Amino acid sequence: MADDQRASGTVDTQRRRILAAAAGGVTLSALGTGATGGAAAVDDDTLTIIHDTHFHGRFNDSDFENLDIARYQTLVDDLRDEYPNALFFGNGDDLAPSVLGIEFEGEHMIEAMNEMDIDAVGAGNHEFDFGVEVAEERFEESTFPWVVANLLTPDGDPVPGTERWTTVETDDHTVGVFGLGVRGFHDITDYPDDWQVLDYDEASEEAVAALEDEGADFIVCASHISTGNHPEVANVEGVDAVVGSHSGVVFDEPDTDEDGLISEFGDEFDHLGRLTFDVDSGELVDWERLDLYDSEALDEEEYPEETDNITPVDVQDVERHEALAEVVDEYNEELDERLGEPVVESEVELNASFDNYAIETGWGNLMMDLTREVGDLDEEIDVAFQNGGGIRSDATYGPGEITGADVMNILPFPNEIEVWEVTGAQLRTYLEEDAIRPMPGGRGAQPAIQTSGISFEWIGHDGEAEADRIHVGGEPLDDEETYLVATNDFEAGRTTLSEGELVLQSGQFQGPYTMDKLDDLDTIAPEREHRMIRVDERVGDVEAVEANDDTLTLTVPNTEASGGAIEDTFRVVVPGGDVVELDLAGEDSDTIELTGAGDAIEALFEGSGMDELAVYGGFDPDDAYYGYESDDDDEEYRAMPVNDMYDHAKLRAVLSASAVEDALAAVEEPADDDEPHDDDGEDDDVATPDDTGEGDTADEAPGFGPVAGAAGVAGGAYLYSRFAGSEGDDAGDE
């Protein structure tokens, strides 16, 4: 759940009653919510809007099973009963992506939503995950209207089964509602190339004109566009409110800074919003955000905080809506029969959260290693890539049994695995132009992929990304060579990988394929193996190497960007191989001194056959050096590093084999009567990737093998809101 801390000093709020702690109180009315101060203002002249949906094809929250659609609907019904002229609007992405979605192609959600008495839903991109024909069937099966004003057929007609806008009658008012889908619709869903996507302002102006002609007293946009684009819609004359979004952010309070109000309260089942307006003036007179939680799944200190307008609701005190519960239980029982059995045992926690957008994860490494085994080709598949947004459950699993349903929740899209033959130059372009993505506002970057078979370092500042020291299978990338790359059809179709030659359409969807491959294994223990190496400063060559007995001292250039080197972060790295840890021995403004085991470092060079290896290490970045402007009025610069998945910045120096050899050779050979060196052939000080630990090591020593972390298999086989960005993010991920 992403957060967007919106400030708005102009909201005229009424104090909420404190949630009553009455035993046996099982509905919202019984729990005693409602605005004491707002009661006088809430009358026939007011309109109350309840929002959102954005269910992602799920019947319950991805983390908390008891936060389900049946309890959610109980709360909606109680709000509708409590407030006159109340309407319930959804904002789409309701049919998918989820394991239920891919199993039932959205039928389950339509049956459930038909029980919810929804007044209108703005269609989202995931309604089209199974193609336009299936989407049309689902729209036609709905007993409520789907609205989207800016998506049109080639003939200029609404998407079949939807309306561009509609009016809804309450006891006292006529309310107009229209929907909007993201401008990058073609890039993120199965939407025909020749279908139209209008600009937001054009579609909004058409909707307002039509709805005013139909006598609408109040006009609402049920939005499925990115949060950064909402001001464009809210400032269209005649738009009174924008609710929902594509981004899934959570406002602290509605935004009244634009001409029309903007309200975004997340997605799925964590929050429910209520907005009460004076229809004549269009002013917000009262609002509330319900924050749902499960007291049986959380410690008391983790419960949501109550404020004047934010009401925590323990779903243990909320009864399930009877008709919805029957639908939910029937589909879940059928799904459990299909996918409920364990497929593999994991010895470690598997991270399938949205961390996969920004860092390497054990789950990402595992599934990518398995993907390289697809098909029956004569040649080994060299590389695999996965878009971070395709890893979708935003949850963690294990240690313990992993079920088929778990795997399908992680990989819910009907994405087919393909194999492409590309040149090294095309691989490089893919990394720099498609995989390493600038963050909103040009503040840094993130590698929004998971990988196998390839290692690289990346640097991303000032809105640009660069990949360097790229190795495939431990060998430097050759721009003229060709490589086989496994990925999914979604990722290939929107990136430079499709400029290569399609070698294999496997016919395998990622979820079922991965589930079947895991079913062949007994246990798994994938780790983060540092395949993607983040670098902020390249400081050049190691300036000096000195040996004292078997300890090497490396003098590394310092960087002006540093506010101090960080202990336990420095190491020498072999692409596709091992690492040696280095100790921080000293630092001044010009250099950093590091020490490490000479025989272990020498063994790295001998084992790799390379003339140069990289030294990586962390430093506390100087915010002023990078100069990213802060969003905080009290701070001039944004705190570095700007990506919250990293807790320090990183520098890289280059260490040569000859410098190490010369330093060790200069050490006097021991006399015959000296104690002999340990010559058992073991390089005791060489750390494998599994020895490097967690923390901010997500991008250090690369390593990969045929099946990541599978027990008994040889070789190394792991926002600013990331979803609340500008229009460029609309086409960024699924």
**CA Rg value for the chain:** 28
Q: Which amino acid is at 25?
A: G
- Please name the residue ranges forming H helices in 572-656: 598-608, 623-626
Per residue in 133-155, pLDDT (tens digit) is: 999 999 999 999 999 999 999 99
Residue reference for tokens 């003339």: 611
Higher per-residue confidence, 81 vs 725: 81
> Do 589 and 710 have their domain in common?
no
- Is the domain of 346 the same as that of 282? no
Lowest-pLDDT range, 2-6, 460-464, 608-612, 645-649?
2-6
Shared domain for 474 and 365, answered yes or no, is yes
Determine the Cα–Cα distance for residues 74 and 71; give it in Å rounded to an integer. Answer: 5
pLDDT the model gives residue 646: 84
Number of domains in the chain: 3
The residue out of 301, 332, 363 marking a domain boundary is: 332
Question: What tens digit of pLDDT does each residue of 581-621 get?
Answer: 999 999 999 999 999 999 999 999 999 899 999 999 999 99
Joined tokens for residue 613? 């290896």
Q: Is residue 1 part of a domain?
A: no
Task: Output the domain CATH number for residue 477.
Answer: 3.90.780.10
Q: Which residues constitute the domain of residue 208?
A: 28-332
Q: Cα 212 to chain center, whole Å? A: 39
Model confidence pTM above 0.75: no
Q: pLDDT tens digits for 431-467?
A: 999 999 877 666 678 899 999 999 999 988 876 788 9
**Of 332, 362, 389, which residue constitutes the final position of a domain?**
332
pLDDT tens string 82-103:
999 999 999 999 998 888 888 8
Higher pLDDT, 428 or 392: 428
Indicate whether 12 belongs to any domain: no
In this structure, is residue 9 part of a structural domain? no
What 3-state class would DSSP assign to 500? coil
CA atoms of 372 and 366, how far apart (whole Å): 10
Summarize the chain as % helix, strand, coil (round to 5).
25, 30, 45
The whole-number pLDDT of residue 719 equals: 26
The helix or strand, by DSSP H or E, that contains position 698, with its residue range, turns out to be none
Q: How confident is the model at residue 695 (pLDDT cuts 50, 70, 90)?
A: very low
Q: What is the pLDDT of residues 489-512, one digit of tens each?
A: 989 988 999 999 999 988 788 998
Query: Do 344 and 328 fall within a single domain?
Result: no
The pLDDT of residue 1 is above 70? no
Residues 477 and 563 in one domain: no
In a domain, 15, yes or no: no
Question: Could you tell me which of 472, 612, 464, 446 has the C-alpha nearest to residue 534?
Answer: 446
587 CB-contact burial (10 Å; exposed 0-12 / middle 13-18 / buried 19+): middle
Answer yes or no: are the C-beta atoms of 164 and 147 closer than 8 Å. yes
Res 734: pLDDT: 52
CB distance 455 to 470 below 8 Å: yes
Whether residues 445 and 569 share a domain: the answer is no
Q: Are 522 and 597 within one domain?
A: no
Per-residue pLDDT at 12:
30
Say if 571 falls within a structural domain: yes
Q: What is the tens place of the pLDDT at every residue in 287-342?
A: 999 999 999 999 999 999 999 999 999 999 999 999 999 999 999 999 888 888 99
Residue 308 maps to which CATH number?
A: 3.60.21.10
Q: Is residue 4 part of a domain?
A: no
Residue 457: both structure tokens together: 């370092």
Q: Percentage of the chain surpassing pLDDT 90?
A: 64
Give a yes or no: residue 486 inside a domain. Answer: yes
Ranges of H-type helices in 131-279:
132-141, 185-188, 200-213, 230-234
Residue 670: what pLDDT? Answer: 54
Question: Is residue 14 one of the residues assigned to a domain?
Answer: no
Same domain, 298 and 414: no
Does residue 486 share a domain with residue 451?
Answer: yes
Backbone angles phi, psi at 506, to 5 degrees: -70, -25
pLDDT exceeds 70 at position 16: no
205 shares a domain with 68:
yes
Q: Are residues 325 and 369 in the same domain?
A: no
Query: In the prediction, which pLDDT does 21 show?
Result: 29
pLDDT at site 636: 82
Confidence check: pLDDT of 696 > 70 = no
Domain end among 300, 332, 364: 332
Contact (Cβ atoms closer than 8 angstroms) between residue 424 and residue 483: yes
For the stretch 258-292, pLDDT in tens is 999 999 998 889 999 999 999 999 999 999 999 99
Percent share of the chain, pLDDT over 70:
84
Judged by DSSP in three states, 492 sits in helix
pLDDT tens digits for range 179-211 = 999 887 777 676 778 889 999 999 999 999 999
Between residues 525 and 44, which one has the greater pLDDT? 525
SS3 29: helix
Per-residue pLDDT of 213-258, as tens digits, reads 999 999 999 999 989 999 999 999 999 999 999 988 899 999 999 9
- Say whether both 420 and 484 belong to one domain: yes
Measure Cα distances from 606 to 85, 603, 663, 683, 704 in Å: 77, 5, 15, 12, 20
Please name every residue paired with 702 in a beta bridge, in sequence order, or none if there are none. Answer: none
